[in-house]
Amino acid sequence: MAASPELRRLPSPAELEPCPLPAAEQSGSSSGGGEGYNTPATKESAIPAITSCPPAPRKKRRLEVSCKRRLLDLELFRVAPELMELLFRPLEDHPSPATKKRKNRCPG
């Protein structure tokens, strides 16, 4: 697909002339009193100097958790050995677990 002859036409030198620039930009002086952005230099707009440093941040106090029981609050009691034997049988009363025999997979 070829481009049309209208699109290939070059612009004339009159069409290529630069646009006129504003007077402030042509002079090249950036500190002049012209339009633009500049930093305010008055004392009212200046950041005040710090006279002293603020104190260091303090650690927050840990609140004591009331849910935990203290050691002194625990009540201990004794259980008779007969009652313990009823609840937990000694190991000698339990039958020994069956041992599995290994199968010899290799003939021979």
Q: What is the pLDDT averaged over residues 31-59?
A: 82
For the stretch 16-25, pLDDT in tens is 777 777 665 4
Rounded distance between C-alpha atoms, residue 40 and residue 44, angstroms: 9
Instruction: Give the side-chain half-sphere CA count within 13 A for 87.
Output: 6
Angle at 40 between CA 27 and CA 46, to 5 degrees: 155
C-alpha–C-alpha distance, residues 15 and 59, integer Å: 72
pTM: 0.20
Query: Residues 56-90: pLDDT tens digits?
Result: 999 888 776 666 666 666 777 888 888 888 888 76
Which residues have a Cβ under 8 Å from the Cβ of 41 and sit 6 or more positions away? Answer: none
In percent, the amount of the chain with pLDDT more than 90 equals: 3
Task: Tell me how far apart the alpha carbons of residues 107 and 105 are, in angstroms, rounded to a whole number.
Answer: 6
